Every structure is written in structure tokens, then in C-alpha cells.
Amino acid sequence: MMKRIVILGAGPAGITVAETLRKFDKTSEVIIISDEPYPPYSPPAMTEYFLTGKAFHLWKGSNFIDNYLNAKYLSGKSKRVVEVDPESCRVVLLDGEEIYFDNLVLATGSRLSASIKGMEKEGLYNFKSLSAAEEIMEKVREREAKSALVIGAGFIGIEIAVLLKELGVKVTQLVRSRYMRGMLDEEAAGVLMHIMENKGIDVLKGSDADTVEFMGDPDVRSVRVRSGKILTADLMIAATGIRPNVEFLSGSGIKVNDGVVVDEFMRTNYSQIYACGDIAETINRITRQRVVYPSFYNAVNQGVITAYNLLGMNIRYEGADRINSIKHIGIPLITAGDVDSKDGSSVVYKKGKGFIKKIFLKNGRIVGFILLNDITNAGIFKRLMDRQVDVSSYRDRLLDENFGEGLLYRSILKIM
Amino acid sequence: MKSVIIIPDRCIGCKQCEIACSVEHSKSKNIYSSVFETPKSAPRIFVLPGDHSCFSFPNKCRHCDPAPCLMICPTGAIYKDSSIILVDPTRCIGCRMCAMVCPFYVIRYRESPDIVERYVATKCDGCIDRIKKGNIPACVETCKTGAILFDDLNKILKEKGLNFAKKVFLVQKEGKKIDVLQEKNCYNMLQELKEKLYRTMVVEDE
Amino acid sequence: MNEKSIHKDAEHFISISEKEGIETVWNRLKSQEPHCGYCELGLSCRNCAMGPCRIDPFGDGPQKGVCGASRDTIVARNLLLTISAGAAAHSDHGRDILETFYETSNEKTSGYMIKDVEKLKKLAIEFGINVNDRNDGDIARELGAKLMEEFGTKQKRLTLLDRSPKKRQEIWERLNIVPRGIDRENVESLHRIHMGVDNDYLNLLLHSLRTSLSDGWGGSMIATELSDILFGRPEPLVSSVNIGVLKENEVNIALHGHNPILSDVIVQAAEDPELIKIAKEKGAKGINLVGICCTGNELLMRKGVPMVGNHLMQELVIMSGVLDAMIVDYQCIMPSVVDVAKCFHTKIISTFDKAKFEGAEHISFDKSRGIEIGKKIVRLAVENFENRIPGKVDIPDKPVEMMAGFSVESILELLGGSLDPLVDAIKIGKIRGVAADVGCNNPKIKHDYGHTYITKCLIENDILVLVTGCAAVANGKIGYMNMDAVKYAGKGLKEVCESLKIPPVLHVGSCVDNSRLLVLVSAIANNLGVDISDLPVVGTAPEWYSQKAVSIATYFVASGVDVVLGIPPAIFGSQKVVDVLTNGLKDLVKATFSVEPSPDKAARLIQKKIEDKRMLLGLSYREIG
């Protein structure tokens, strides 16, 4: 009997599940359901798309689902899933359509979140999805937006601020504490701020950057910050944080904590239902704590593991990574792991002409690193960190010019 | 199936594979004119030093399966063609995500002849053009010490195994010294001397 | 822990260079790694356009060059080229001195005179020149002309070979390696290296010996002799060494390179009252000269000019921020000093037309206007004093006292005019033997570790150590070359040192002054009526890097002195060449090379060689495990 696998969401996680499935299983019926009206796209390439107009974001091509996945694709607002019934293996769509499944994959991603007064009002834009981004771009293309206020200084905040600046919009960014808090330490965040300011972005800090309320009626027209100032711009863009799209699961019996709780095989509390990507609550590869780490890399990795387990391979997920490469700031910047911990970690540090490199260690093992404008050995550091290799015997050489695969592979010190 | 196989013991650090690789990936594919090209060609294989140059190691793409770089590429620029992982420079946005996850650090960012506005991921392409013409990869062709081979891995393993078995047989049957198990050559001699020099640099923990 | 030098001053500046991103020799070594194994083994040949060729050391790949040259031919040819370059460097240096000497005898120079008439006459007599009732200029002119012939084809045999023991000369004659003309042997080397000339590795190695002998008993020896005549014979003196010899409140000028022709007039110019006056106007208290490498050693030996450092210090001393000029002549000057100087106010001034440095100021030296040019150069340094960057002044150590000036003549004088006391001390075993620690620095080994470790082991075991070149600075800096160092010496050596009031490590001079060692060992051998190879004498170059060092090591071996090298030379690609050099030469010239990078093992090997020689001489000997 032909199996039916339903995948909710056509983002990186959902598409990867389908793609990996198809490598091994050409016969099962695959249905992908998405409420976005676009072919599958990759969010990290959106900026490039808007900058160049070329479809970089369609990373699997525009006809991927039809041509390669041989899957049924239900997309658009009316195809939003409103109910999941694990007991009868059935999902219900907004237009009333009921779909039964043998296996269900939850990969509905995440959306903007902020616990700020006035958050629910209209006229507040974000850059979390292609639909949301298109709304911003329309304003820019129509020349309705000449200035923008970007609230937040995380990964997405940086992307949209740089993109708008490149497109000729006057950008003000509110940086409450520092750029990429949690992903960069103070020094690197300082360098990043310098870069942003040099690009011509107006950076507001401290109480001038701490948003208290979105004001305007009915649409958001300005924000009030803690210092009491009222800031305004043509475009108000929130990049304050994201949260998993899990509301439609309430009452379904599927266990949800910060995100959908999955085991090491990416299974929810119902063995026929899996979850992956931004909505999944997994474990941190190194600390083994339960986390929701929304990122393209984790989404894709989890998608692959989900597919393997759908196929019955019983492959464990090693854990989610906190790692990112910050694009479009003019220099490469890679940050990974725990770079902000105060307890018991030591730092290997090297600063040179135009670059800063830092490796954070705990108990002789790498727990995080920041590579700013020199990404030499980035993947090797990640490998040593992922495997929690004891590097204490060569810790001082990690940032040497000659450190690398050669030294790891061929050492008279027998370090590996 | 044949693939590029590295025998690290045989690498003597001459870096000729780096040069051959650069030339192969230049526009002219000619050593004399390639040095005048803009952008300059660059190698995709890297001869790295071991400890204080007592050893060397030719580091190149292993064409992993599954390949983390391919998985993470957000534009689909990295793809696979008959077990070789390739980069389409026109689709690469230079986001460094692949370098971030490549466990061997064999992806670099360079100007590409096709793309002028940004640095793009550049990596070993398995000399796919040469293979299609029935040639062997450039690094393999240039390596005279047998450190880089193009062969069937199973065949090489079998040969090595047989060779070792023969030696063990000699030790057991003919009472030859156990030394025959360990190949000694003039390069080993030099390595030993270099290791001694290196020791003077290291303050041993007392 | 990784350390690059044994010295406080060096480590201080190395760590600063790393923090500030100032590139040094250690960074460049790292970026060159891994080194090419073909080249390290001597198995690459790029002599001709049928190649370049390389031989697979493992034996599966190509085993012959395009021309058919085997690994043995290629390794031997490469070695001959190395030795030839080294011999040429010393000999061309010798020729420059000779030309100055000759012009001085014609009164066509400024700033030079015949300082040591006694030595002039002695040397003239060796060349069969009548010295009675003639003025010095006449003698010098005739000697100069004769010495020029030593470089050419007219001679069939170098004259100064007569200083060696008869037995040694017979060995050379038997092997047909008696050097004829100094230039000739070098030119013939280049000829033999050409494709299709000398392809027999043994024949090539024999010519290597001959070429090196043309350096040691020719070019270098002439350089030493004439430098003594022109600039004065070294006498024992006390000076000081390390970064601390730089003075914050004076104009500091470093003299770097090898040839004393220029530096001697700089010393004269620096005493010029007018220049001192200008210096004072600029706020300096005076003009302070310091030496680097062998130019420094030449000045230290004769004038007591303090040494600021050796080869690996040349980039670092600039980082003191108080060096107003570094005046360079030639050999062993890293082109990178120009780049380091760009980060500071230091002026690099090149002086010889055959040795220019991109980015340095070039003032062409002309011996006929020596003093004038000397003053011009010193003036540049003085005027640069005011450009010092106050925040960059950094002198991280206090100077160490160091004795120097032990020429063969001055050693003889110390001994009361005869070698007997020294020979007797060796005979009864107070001094077990003599070791020469010579040669360069090399970033592949911890800076000065090889020199000082070996020296310490040797003097502890009653072996008198003679040092030249960078080895001398290494040992001086760590304090083995002042009277205080006698405490490090073994009982017997200590007694001798105390009675003669000499340190256990004697500074014999620059690297061309290794020829003094040939003269000394010949004299000892003649005193005993034996060959040099019978003496308990060993040479060592634990940190060598240059072609000159290979030439020196080879003329030591060819003269009968065993040599222990610390850095492996590029010969290991040919087992046959290795066998000849480390073993076969014993039958040919009664001395061999050894390669021992571990200073500890090298020291024991030297000790063993010395005790073995003692045994063969019938003297008391110790068993060395």
C-alpha cells in the first residue's frame, strides 16, 4: 500500500525532508502544504534577491516540487492548516479540506515576535518571510519609503538594515544593548557597529533604542523609546525576535514547550508525527540543553534526519548548532557556539591588521569562536567544537598561521 | 570507480600539485601565461605543514557524501555531479556558509573569471573536465612521489594489504628482522633530523 | 610552550612583533612551510632547460633527470654549487680588502693606512718578497700584486697552503685537490655543474673540497691577513653585548654585514668633532656605534665596538626604536630589514654597489673618498636622531660584558711567545682539546640554543672553545665570554683560564677569520710534528644557514678537522653522497662530517671525537658513552 507523507511548510526544513525522502523513496505520496504563495525559497538568500533581482533565493529552482519532488503542493493563504488530529491522522485546512496522512512532518517555521505594546497594530513590517519582505520592497520600489526605522539588531535586523541602505533608504537602527547579542562578544559587536555606521546607518543606542510602544492609529506611525523620545520613519520594521508557528497545534495533543518537543529521531510525542526546522525544540549539540535554534543550517540538518527516520533508518540527530555567517556587511564574519559565557572559559585571541579571531574554551575544549574578517580554519574549529576534542595540548597554536588540517593530521606530538 | 586517493606518507611538501591545480584552473591552462591573468588562478589543493614542517599533508576536498557544504548552500550554488561536489559561481553569493561547515577548510573565496562583483566559493572540482577527456586530475599527474593517486580505492587497499602480509610472512617464515615492516627511506631520515630541530623550540613540560 | 630564542631581548621583541603584526624571519619561515622535500633532499635540479627535474626519493617515480643525471650526480652538483657560492662570497670579500690594500699602498685611498707593519713584513716574506731596506708602501705594493695573482690562473698552487703541515699538503696532492687559483676553482665549479661536464659524484665532491680550500687557505685567509694589516691586529679587550648596548640618549648607528672596509671609516667619521657637535645640537649626548653580524665582529675584535646582536637579531634590534641608522655592506643582510625599518624611524643605508636593497638609501662607497663618504653616512644618522618616535623607545635588557680580540698572534703573546704552554696543557689533559663553535643562526632551531648549549657542555668538560661569527655573539650574550664565565669551566680548563686570565670561550673573529683557526691548528700540529687530523680538535656549526657556512665546514674537513653540523644539509637524497661525506672522507682526508641536530647529542659526539683523538695520540683519554 502506498504511504502518504504530509509535510506542513515549504521552507528549508520541509523541502529538505521531501528532497531527502525522494532520494530513497520514489513511490510514496508526498503532499507539501504551505501558506506562502511562492515556490520554495531560502531566507538567507532573500537579500541577494532583492539587491540583484536575480532569483538566488529559489535555491532548488522554480519548479523543484513538480519536476524533482513529484509531490503535490498546496499553497496560499487558504491552505493554512487549522487543525491537526493525531488520533485520526488527519489535518484540516482553512478552506475546509481534510487530508489524511500516514506520516506528518511539522515544519511551519517561525514568525516575528515582540512583547512590545502596540505590536499587533497594522503597518509594522518585518523581514522574516518572503511575503513580509515583499511588502517592504513594494514600499521601497514605489518610493513611498525614503526612511526606515529598524527595531532590533539581531541577524535579521542587520540584513534588512543593510539591504535598505543599499537600496538608498535612510536607515535608523535601534540597538538596545549591542549587535547580535548572544552571538558576538562586546568587542566584535563594537566592530560590527562601526561597520554599520560606516555604511551610513544611523545607530541609536541605550535608552534611545529601547522601544516601549508602537504608536499610531490604526497603523503604526512611530515608536516611543525609554528615553521618552518619539521616533518616526516612513517604514517601521520590527526585527525584535522570532517565535515558532505552533498556535495551530493547541488542543491537538502534540507536546509543545518553547517549540514542538521532539526526541533524538525528530519525532513528536506521536510516533507518526515529526517536527523539524524553526518550530522544533531539540537539544544543543554541545551543552545537551533543550533549545529552539531557528536557522537555515539547523533546519536543513533536521530535515535530512527527519527524512532518514521517516524511511526507518533510525538515525540520531546530533543536536542543533549555534553558528552563523553574517552576510552583506562587507567582510566575512563567522560566529559559533558560546561566545559570551563568563564562567570558566578561556580565550585564545589574535588581532591583526583588520581582523579579530577568538576561540572560547572550557575544560580544554572549544565552546565557541568568532572569526572577523579572517575565516581561516572556520570549519575545522567547528569540527573540533562539535566533537568536543580536547585541544589543550595545542591551544596556543589554534590561531597560528600554520594551524590546520596538516597539523591535526600529521603531528609528531600525536595530538589527535 | 576511480577517485583521488591521498597517501600522506608519500607527500614531501613540494607543492607541485598546488601549481598544477592553479594552472589547470586558469583561463589559459598554461603555466607561463596563467601567471599574468587577472584574476590570478589559485590552487584548490593545499599542501599544509605538519608539526614544524616535519611532515606535510595535501589537503583537498573529500567530496563528502552527504556534503555539509552542499546542504547548507542557501542558493543551490553547490551541487553534485557524479559523486563530485561542484560550485556554480554564478549562483554563489559568497556567504561563507559552506566554509563555516566544511570540516577540512578546503573551500576558499576568490575572484572568478565569470563573476567580478564578489568573491565566490572556489573548491576542488575533481578535474571533471580532464576526466571527461579521459585524463587524470592535474594534481595526480604532477605528483611524482605517489602521494596523490587516481585509482580504485579497493584496489589500493588490497595492494597495500597484500604487501604488508608479504612482509609479515617474511618476518615469520624467514626470520627477517621486524624492521622490514617499517619502510625506511631517505625522506624519513630527514624527517627525523628535522624533528630534533623542532624539539629545541619546545619547552617540554617537566 | 614554544620559544624562538634563548634570549630575553629577542623573545621580548618577537612577542611585540607578533602583537603589532611586524613580519619577521620566523613568520616567513612559517609561511614557507612545508618546505619542498625535493629541495631539502637535494634532489631537484634546475640547471638547464631540458628540466627542471626532480628525483622521487621513494623510488617509484622518476629516478633520472632528463639528461640522465642520477640522484647522486644531482645531489653532488647541488652541493658543489652551494660550496662554490660560499667560497665565492668569502673570496670576493677578500678581493675587496686586497684592492683597498693595494690602492692604499699607492696612496690612492682616504682613511686607510698600513697599521701593522710587522704583520705586513711577515706576510711579504711568506710570498718571497724582499723586505729589507724597503719602505712599507713598496712592500705593500709588491705584496698586493702577488696576492692578486693568487686569485688568477698564473699560480699553480695557493701560497698560504705552506702554512699547513707537510702531511696535510701530501694528502691534498695525492687526491689532486690542491687549490690553484681562488677564482679559478669557483669558475671551474660552475663549469663542472654545467650539463654534460662532471657527472661523477665522487669527482664532484672532491672538487667541492678543493673549492672550499681555495676559500679557507685563499680568499678568507687573505681577507683576515690584510684586514689585520690595514685595521690592526686584534688584541684582547673587554666590550659588551646585547640590546642594552644601545643608548637612549645617543645617536645609535648599527654596522651590519661583513666587510670592515666601510665600517672602519665609519668609526673614524663618528669621532669627527663637527658631527658630534651636530649630534649634541640635536639633543643627543654623542654618537654610539654598535655591531651586528661579522662587520660587528671585525670592529669588536679590533676596536672594542659593542655588539648589539647576531644574525637573527638584525630585524629585532630595529624594534628598539633608538636605532637611528643601520649601515649595511654585504652578506647575511635580510632584505626585510628595510620593511621592519618602515615601522620605525630607522634609516637603512646600503653602501656597496654590488649589494643594494630595495627601499634602502644607497650611498655608493668609494675607498678613494673613504672619510668623506663615512662622514656623509654618519651625518644622515645624526640628522635622523630627531625623528625618533618617543613612544617606541624600548631597550629591554642590560648589556653583558664580553671579551674579544683573540687573534693567533695575541694568543701566542698570552702564552708567552710559544705554543708550548697550550700544547702542554692539552698533553697533560688539563685541556682535553679544542672545539670551534662557528656559523650562523637559523630560525629552524631555537635562536642561539645550539651554540650555547654545546659550548656549556664542552667547557664543563675541559674543552677550550674558540668562537667566530654569530656563534661568538651567542656565547657572549649568555655570559660565557667574560672572566666570570671561568666558573662554568671544568677544573682543568678553569686553572688554565685563571692563569692566563682568559675566558673559557675565546672570540677569534668574524667568519672569514675562521682562517685564523686553520693557522692555529696548523701551528699546533707543526709544534707536535703531526697532521691537523691527529689533533683533538673539532668544529661545529649547530645553527648554520648560509652557503658560506658550508664552505667553511668543508674546508675544515678537507683540512683534517671533523665537523658536526646541526642543520641537515641538502644531501640526504643520495645515500652515496651521504656515505662519502660522513664516512668515506675518513679514508681520503682523515676527517668527516656529522649531522646531529640535537645539541645534547652533538656535544657528546664532539667530546667523544676529541677523546678518541687523544687516545690515538697516546694521551690520557676518557670513555664517552
Please compute the mean of the pLDDT values over residues C133-152 and round it to a whole number. 95
Determine the average pLDDT of the residues in C117-122: 96
C32/chain A closest Cα distance in angstroms: 10
The residue-averaged pLDDT of C340-347 equals: 96
Instruction: Suggest the residue from B11, B46, B61, B95 to mutate for an interface test with chain A (most A CBs closer than 10 A).
Output: B95
Give the span between the Cα atoms of A89 and A104, in whole angstroms.
8
Residue C448: inside a domain: yes
Neighbours of A190 (CB within 10 A): 14
Examine residue B188 and state whether it is found in any structural domain, yes or no.
yes
Residues in chain A closer than 8 A to C27 (CB atoms) = 401
- A76 — pLDDT class (breaks 50, 70, 90): confident
Q: Distance (Å) from the C-alpha of residue C44 to the closest C-alpha of chain A?
A: 24
Answer yes or no: are the C-beta atoms of C314 and C337 closer than 8 Å. Answer: yes
Mean predicted confidence (pLDDT) in A312-316? 95
Three-state DSSP class for residue B153: helix
| Min Cα separation B100/chain C (Å) | 23
Grade residue C100 by pLDDT with cuts at 50, 70 and 90. Answer: very high
Whether A7 has a pLDDT exceeding 70, the answer reads yes
- What CATH number did the domain enclosing C212 receive? 1.20.1270.30
Average of per-residue pLDDT values in chain B? 88
pLDDT confidence of residue B181: 63
Q: Which residues of A are less than 8 Å from C21 in CB distance?
A: 352-353
Q: Is residue B135 part of a domain?
A: no
- Are A61 and B72 inside 8 Å of each other by CB? no
- Please check whether residues B71 and B119 belong to one and the same domain: yes
Residue C176 and residue C281 in one domain: no
Indicate the average pLDDT of chain A: 91
C606 Cβ neighbours under 8 A, 6+ residues apart: C435, C454, C458, C463, C538, C540, C564
Report CB contact under 8 Å: A332, B51: no
Does one domain contain both C262 and C120? no
pLDDT of residue A117: 86
Does residue A413 surpass a pLDDT of 80? no
Q: What is the pLDDT of residues C259-316, one digit of tens each?
A: 999 999 999 999 999 999 999 999 999 999 999 999 999 999 999 999 999 999 999 9
Distance CA C150, CA A321 (A): 76
Instruction: Find the mean pLDDT for residues B82-94.
Output: 93
Domain layout of chain A by residue ranges: 4-111+243-310, 124-240, 333-409
Is there a domain that residue B129 lies in? no
DSSP code of C34? S
> What integer is the mean pLDDT of C375-392?
94
pLDDT digits (tens, 9 = 90+) for A363-399: 999 999 999 999 999 999 999 999 999 998 888 889 9
Hey, are the CB atoms on B71 and A301 less than 8 Å from each other? Answer: yes
Instruction: Give the list of residues 6+ apart from residue C320 with CB closer than 8 angstroms, or none.
Output: C13, C243, C246, C393, C394, C395
Q: Do A379 and B103 touch (CB under 8 A)?
A: yes
Percentage, residues of chain C above pLDDT 90: 95
Q: Which domain holds residue C31?
A: 8-53
A4-111+243-310 fold = FAD/NAD(P)-binding domain (3.50.50)
A406 CB within 8 Å of a chain C CB: yes
For residue A211, what is its C-alpha cell?
Answer: 522601544
Is C196 a member of any domain?
yes
Residue type at position C311: H
**Amino acid B53: pLDDT:** 63
Is residue B182 very low, low, confident or very high in pLDDT (cuts 50, 70, 90)?
A: low
Name the band, by pLDDT with cuts 50, 70 and 90, for residue A400.
confident
Q: What's the rounded mean pLDDT across residues C319-341?
A: 97
Same domain? For C344 and C432 the reply is: no
- Residue pLDDT, tens place only, C406-444: 999 999 999 999 999 999 999 999 999 999 999 999 999
What is the pLDDT at residue B178? 66
Q: How far is the CA of B83 from the CAs of A305, B64, B79, B128, B166, in angstroms?
A: 21, 9, 10, 11, 34
C62 touches chain B (CB under 8 A): yes
Nearest-angstrom CA–CA distance, B98 and B107: 7
Of A352, A397, A400, Cβ closest to residue C21: A352
d(CA A134, CA A37): 12
Residue C562 lies in a domain: yes
Residue C3 pLDDT > 90: no
* CA-angle at C444, arms to C440 and C449, nearest 5°: 60
CB within 8 Å of chain B, chain C residues 426-485: 444-446, 449-450
Are the CB atoms for A164 and A154 separated by under 8 Å?
no
Kindly list the residues from chain C whose CB atom is less than 8 angstroms away from the CB atom of residue A400: 30
Q: Are residues C356 and C301 in the same domain?
A: yes
What is the mean predicted confidence (pLDDT) over C338-347?
96
Q: Is residue B17 part of a domain?
A: no
pLDDT band at B197 (very low <50, low <70, confident <90, very high): confident
Q: Does C595 lie at the interface with B, CB-CB under 8 angstroms?
A: yes
Classify residue C426: in a domain, yes or no.
Answer: yes
Note whether B206 contacts C: Cβ–Cβ < 8 A. Answer: no
B114 shares its domain with B71: yes
The confidence score (pLDDT) of residue B206 equals 37
Tell me: pLDDT of C485 over 70: yes
CA dihedral over C378, C380, C385, C389, signed as positive or negative? negative
pLDDT, tens only, B125-137 = 999 999 999 999 9
Task: pLDDT band for C340, please (50, 70, 90 cuts).
Answer: very high
**Rounded Cα gap, residues C474 and C402, in angstroms:** 11
Q: Residue A241 is placed in which grid cell?
A: 525576535
C185 and C269 housed in the same domain: no
pLDDT-derived band at A219 (thresholds 50, 70, 90) equals: confident
- Domain contains B107: yes
Q: Is B12 on the interface with A (CB under 8 A)?
A: no
C573–B49 C-beta distance less than 8 A: no
Domain count, chain C: 4
Which of A353, A397, A401 shows the shortest C-beta gap to C27?
A401
Residue C384, in any domain of the structure = yes
Other chains touching C, judged by 3 or more CB pairs under 8 Å: A, B
CA atoms of A132 and C447, how far apart (whole Å): 63
Domains in chain B, number: 2
Nearest CA in chain C to A353: C21
What is the Cα–Cα distance from C269 to C288, expressed in whole angstroms? 12
Q: Are strands A222-225 and A211-215 parallel, antiparallel or unpaired?
A: antiparallel
Tell me whether residues C62 and B12 touch, CB distance under 8 A.
no
Nearest to C41 among B49, B50, B186 (CB): B186
Instruction: Report the chain A residue with the minimal C-alpha distance to residue B195.
Output: A412
- The pLDDT assigned to A415 comes to 42
Residue A90 reports pLDDT greater than 70? yes
Do C88 and C143 sit in the same domain of this protein?
A: yes
Least confident span in A353-362, B29-38, C113-122, C591-600: B29-38
Please, where are the H alpha helices in C282-419?
293-303, 337-342, 370-384, 408-414
Together in a domain, C107 and C33: no
Residue C577 lies in a domain: yes
Q: Please name the residue of chain A whose CA is at the shortest distance from the CA of residue B99.
A: A379
Whether chain C has a CB inside 8 Å of the CB on A352: the answer is yes
Largest CA distance in chain B: 68
* Chain B contact present for C39, CB below 8 A: yes
pLDDT at C23: 95
Q: Which of A348, A395, A401, A412 to mutate to test the interface with C (most CBs of C within 10 A)?
A: A401
Q: How confident is the model at residue B183 (pLDDT cuts 50, 70, 90)?
A: low
Give the model's pLDDT for residue A163.
94
Cβ–Cβ below 8 Å for B93 and A407: no
Whether residue C32 lies within 8 A of chain A, CB to CB, comes out as no
Q: pLDDT-derived band of residue C600, with 50, 70 and 90 as boundaries?
A: very high
Q: Are residues B162 and B119 in the same domain?
A: no
| A209 sits in which H/E element | none
- What does the pLDDT average to over C351-374? 95
Q: Is B15 on the interface with A (CB under 8 A)?
A: no
Q: Is residue B29 part of a domain?
A: no
* Domain annotation covers residue C373: yes
Q: How far is CA C336 from the centre of its chain?
A: 21
Mean pLDDT across A162-188 = 92
User: Where in the sequence is the domain holding B194, given as residue range(s)?
Assistant: 155-199
Q: What is the mean pLDDT of residues A192-220?
A: 90
What integer best gives the mean pLDDT of chain C?
Answer: 96
Residue C322 has pLDDT above 90, yes or no: yes
Residue A416's pLDDT is: 38
Q: Could you tell me if residue C64 is inside a domain?
A: no
Assigned superfamily of A333-409: FAD/NAD-linked reductase, C-terminal dimerisation domain (3.30.390.30)
- The answer to whether the A4-111+243-310 and A124-240 domains have the same CATH topology is yes
Window A:52-81, CB contacts with B under 8 Å: 56-61
Mean pLDDT of A247-260: 94
Lowest mean pLDDT among A53-57, B93-97, C379-383, C429-433: A53-57
Cβ-defined contact of C56 to B146 (cutoff 8 Å) = yes
Q: How far is B41 from chain C (nearest CA, A)?
A: 19
Give percent of chain A above pLDDT 90.
67
Contacts of B103 in chain A (CB under 8 A): 379-380, 382-383
Question: How many A-B residue pairs are in contact by the CB < 8 A criterion?
Answer: 124
| Cell numbers given for C391 | 613612544
> Mean per-residue pLDDT for C591-614?
97
Residues C210 and C314 in one domain: no
Residue A410 scores a pLDDT above 90: no
Same domain, C436 and C548: yes
Fold of the domain built from segment(s) A124-240:
FAD/NAD(P)-binding domain (3.50.50)
Q: Which residues on chain C are in Cβ contact (under 8 Å) with A405? A: none
The region of weakest confidence among A42-56, B49-63, B67-81 is B49-63
Quick one: average pLDDT of C342-353? 96
**Cell 637579531 maps to which residue?**
C313
CATH number at residue B72: 3.30.70.20
What lies within 8 Å, CB to CB, of C24 at 6+ separation is C14, C17, C315, C316, C336, C340
